[in-house]
Amino acid sequence: MGDRVILHADLNNFYASVECLHRPEIRDKPVAVCGDPAARHGIVLAKNYLAKATGIKTGEVIWQARQKCPQLLVVPPNYPLYLRFGRLARSIYSSYTDQVEPFGLDEAWLDVSGSIHIFGDGIRIADEIRERIKSELGITASVGVSYNKIFAKLGSDMKKPDATTIISRENFKQVVWPLPAGELLYVGRATRHKLARRGISTIGDIAGADPGYLRSFLGKWGEVLWSFANGYDSSAVVHQGEESLIKSVGNSITTPRDLESDEDVQMIFYVLSESVAARMREHGFKCRTVQIQIRDKDLFSFGVQGKFSKPTYLSSDLAEKAMELFRINYSWTNPIRSVGVRGCDLVSADSHEQLSLFENEAWRIKQDKIEATVDVLRYRFGHFSIQRAVLLKDNELGVINPKEDHVIHPVAFFKEGRLP
């Protein structure tokens, strides 16, 4: 059996490209899509090529970007529009294979091994996809072609915009190994610094290092990165429509202002718990554990979790347990900047459960009906059509809607675990 044929398609400057497509009046100006600076998400999420030419980088704060380009036009993100274009791009990919694995809104892997006898080789398919995206969607894409997912993604990153790059078994040592180590998937800033301190600066250096030595300071991911660098990645492209088991539902937020009291934190717990509970009900889950994540203004962070006596999807249960965990584990050394709530150990919402003689089951049934009614009202009339009274105490914290106004992040390459 021959090598697989894997493509990685990356929509160029996706958010900014879609904005410029829909707003012709800004196409000839330097444009950056940025989070709301008033809500403390004021970083550059995407930029067009005119902005990029001034040195603006994704992830830097708006004031830094404006120093480089005083005439920069900042626009807020329009996630529903980006979701629509992401779906349209995936429908194009689906014309060639049912093995399409999204990697965020703007990237996807395609395994076209079974399609090459119909559509031609990987290069021809990649070129055709690029032309269709350009003509049907009005934006451009770069596509990497390789025999594994890691090198296909490297290929799509190497030439932009609107280019096809081939990385094969025959040329990967010449093409990939001279690249900086940070170009390899999951070599982030911290890992890059650890490698550099040991004289490992290129992907070839990673490939040539002893895997045991890499493991000694990077843990098990040292060996993973070694296998990536040597082209040994054999991970499959997930079939379209195949959904991995959902193990948790959560949400987090960097707050509009620092939280300085238990009352502040309680408000945010209710805001987040309502969004998490609504999502669990929407997908038919209850959780047996709640987990909280806290980060203070000096960026110290911790996480802790606690179990419920029985599974729940009630926001009040999540918020109260979260507050209980917080009071036990935080001593207010510093004001708090970021809060997260997550429901874990999920079970089906319609699974059988043992009733208790010592709890007010009638009250729980009533709460179930109340929260279901709140879901309906918010669906019909908007999130702020009904609110808890406690959220009316603060005009900054009470107007957060994390269920809808959230940043969309790429999914993980691995379905389990975390990388360094």
Instruction: Reply yes or no on whether 282 is catalytic.
Output: no
Long-range contacts of 130-139 (CB under 8 A, 24+ apart): 130/162, 130/163, 130/164, 132/92, 133/9, 133/11, 133/89, 133/92, 134/162, 136/88, 136/92, 137/85, 137/88, 137/89, 137/92, 138/21, 139/11, 139/12, 139/14, 139/17, 139/18, 139/21, 139/85
- Active-site residue (options: 19, 101, 107, 274): 107
Tokens of 222: 């040292």
Check if the beta carbon of residue 196 is closer than 8 Å to that of residue 189.
no
User: Sign of torsion, CA 190 196 198 204?
Assistant: positive
Closest CA to 9 of 119, 156, 136: 156
Looking at the DSSP bridge assignments, the partners of residue 11 are 141
DSSP state of 71: T
Q: CA-CA distances (angstroms) from residue 261 to 167, 264, 271, 316, 388?
A: 55, 5, 16, 19, 19
Positions marked catalytic: 107
